[in-house]
Structure 1
Amino acid sequence: MYPIEYIQFLTHFHGDRDYFECHEILEEYWKKTDPGNKKSIWVGLIQLAVSCYHHRRGNYNGATRTLEKAIKILESKTVTVTSLGLNQQLLHELLMKQLSVIKGKEDYISINLPLSDPSLIERCKLFCEEQGFLWGKESDITNVDLVDRHKLRDRTEVIEERYRSLTMRKSSE
Structure 2
Amino acid sequence: MKKAYPYPAEFVAFLAEYHGTRDYFECHEIMEEFWKREREKGGRHVGCWLVLTRLSVVQYHARRGNGRGAFKLLSKANAEIDGVLMSEIGLDGERLTAMMRERLAAWGQPEGVRYDDFNLPIREPALREAARRRSAELGAAWQADGMAAGEDVVHRHATRDRTEVEEARAASAQRKALDRRQA
The separation in 2 between residues aligned to 1:160 and 1:45, in whole angstroms, is: 23
- Correspondence 1:112 to 2:119: yes
List per-residue Cα deviations over 1:77-114 (Å, max 9, x = no partner).
Answer: 23320111111221122112222343362531111111
* One of 119, 122, 132 as aligned partner of 1:125: 132
* One of 96, 100, 108 as aligned partner of 1:91: 96
* One of 42, 46, 49 as aligned partner of 1:42: 49
Q: What's the CA shift for 1:135?
A: 0.5
Q: Corresponding residue for 1:22?
A: 27
CA RMSD of aligned residues (A): 2.5
- Correspondence 1:140 to 2:144: no
List per-residue Cα deviations over 1:46-72 (Å, max 9, x = no partner).
Answer: 011111111011111100110111111
Whether the aligned pair in 2 keeps the contact of 1:14 and 1:137 (CA below 8 Å) is yes
Q: What's the CA shift for 1:41?
A: 1.8
Q: Corresponding residue for 1:71?
A: 78
Q: Corresponding residue for 1:32?
A: 37
The separation in 1 between residues aligned to 2:57 and 2:41, in whole angstroms, is: 18
The separation in 1 between residues aligned to 2:68 and 2:95, in whole angstroms, is: 24
- Correspondence 1:82 to 2:82: no
Q: Corresponding residue for 1:169?
A: none
Q: Corresponding residue for 1:53?
A: 60
Q: What's the CA shift for 1:155?
A: 3.4
Whether the aligned pair in 1 keeps the contact of 2:17 and 2:24 (CA below 8 Å) is yes
Deviates more, 1:148-157 or 1:24-33: 148-157
Q: Corresponding residue for 2:177?
A: none
Q: What's the CA shift for 1:32?
A: 1.3
TM-score calculated relative to the size of structure 1: 0.83
Deviates more, 1:139-148 or 1:57-66: 139-148
Q: Are the structure 2 counterparts of residues 93 and 40 from structure 1 closer, same or farther at C-alpha, using a change threshold of 3 Å?
A: closer
Percent identity of the aligned residues? 38
Aligned residues, how many?
A: 162
Q: Corresponding residue for 2:178?
A: none
The separation in 1 between residues aligned to 2:94 and 2:60, in whole angstroms, is: 23
Q: What's the CA shift for 1:156?
A: 4.0
